[in-house]
Structure 1
Amino acid sequence: MFNPSRDEVRRFFIDTWRKQREGSVLTPLEAIAADWIIQHPEYHANLVPTHPAAAANQDYSPENGQTNPFLHLSMHLAISEQLSIDQPPGIRAAHDRLAARLGSPHDAQHAIMECLGETLWEAQRSGMPPDTEAYLQRIKQQASRD
């Protein structure tokens, strides 16, 4: 399984955005990433660093109200992959219901991102693998809210 380092993930998004802006050919994964980057203009400055080494080492503190753009975009990619293969089974249907309820696939992904974050946090805390059934149930609960 591919397990990139923090620097490799950041370099991937920075390089993808550079290639997108230059009109270079993108790999399929880069094309998906570029689509998410386009939908997040608030991160564009983070992806065009004046000092790439500094960008790779930048810390983003939730306590200071900062969102880590690389983590956010990585979660979009992970969820996109889950939806493309319907894994865990049923996530695609739950996403579609959530998108209909929220009015957009992007908003649905953000809601799923919250579910994913909670599931990963619980796994970290317990030292166990992520509970995919609990993850799917969280998404279904989001989709069924009034």
Structure 2
Amino acid sequence: MFNPSRQDARQFYFETWRKHQEKLPLVGAELIAIDIMLSHPEYHAIFNQPERFESQEYPPELGETNPFLHLSMHLAIQEQLSIDQPAGIRKHYQALLVKHQDAMIAQHEVMDCLAEMIWQAQRQQTAFDPVIYFSCLERKLL
């Protein structure tokens, strides 16, 4: 299993952005990442300044979104959707897509639920629980 460090993950985004800006070919996860990055223009200035942001802290108590975590959550959701794991995630996403008629809004709804499920698992020291994940997604559909 691939387990990048925080530095590795950030370098991946900086390098993907650099390659995109220089019109160099992108491969593998870079192709998915650049689409996500382009759909978040609020982060573009960060990608243009790796030396400034490679070690930037984003403590939750300051209420600032960690752009690298946010993008990584998008990548995780894209992977889940591509293989429909946990089984049924694709169906829930499609329902959110129909409801909102906007892929980014639908993904952000899924992200809220993924974050909630991760928080619950950490708090209770349990494994990933698709029941928690899907019950959150079902609430989003109401």
TM-score (norm 2): 0.94
Question: What number of residue pairs does the alignment pair up?
Answer: 142
Q: Which of 74, 77, 101 pairs up with 1:76?
A: 74
Which structure 1 segments of 5+ residues have no match? none
CA distance in 1: counterparts of 2:56 and 2:71, whole angstroms: 16
Q: Which of 114, 117, 124 pairs up with 1:116?
A: 114
Aligned pairs for 1:28-43 (under 5 A) are 28-43=28-43
Partner SS state of residue 57, structure 1: coil
Higher deviation after alignment, 4-13 or 58-67? 58-67
CA distance in 2: counterparts of 1:136 and 1:82, whole angstroms: 13
Per the alignment, residue 131 of structure 1 pairs with: 129
Per the alignment, residue 58 of structure 1 pairs with: 56
Deviation, structure 1 residue 93: 1.1
Per the alignment, residue 47 of structure 2 pairs with: 47
Deviation, structure 1 residue 68: 0.5
Letter in 2 for 1:79: I
Letter in 1 for 2:85: Q
Deviation, structure 1 residue 27: 1.0
Percent identity among equivalent residues? 47
CA distance in 1: counterparts of 2:78 and 2:58, whole angstroms: 24
Which structure 2 segments of 5+ residues have no match? none
1:106 aligns with 2:99: no
Higher deviation after alignment, 57-66 or 67-76? 57-66
Per the alignment, residue 15 of structure 2 pairs with: 15
RMSD between aligned alpha carbons? 1.2
1:87 aligns with 2:85: yes
Listed one character per residue, the Cα deviations across residues 5-47 of structure 1 (whole Å, up to 9, x for unaligned) are 0000000001001111111111121010000000000001111
TM-score (norm 1): 0.92
Q: Is the 8 A contact 1:88 1:136 kept in 2?
A: no
Runs of 4+ more than 2 Å apart: 61-65
CA distance in 2: counterparts of 1:8 and 1:92, whole angstroms: 29
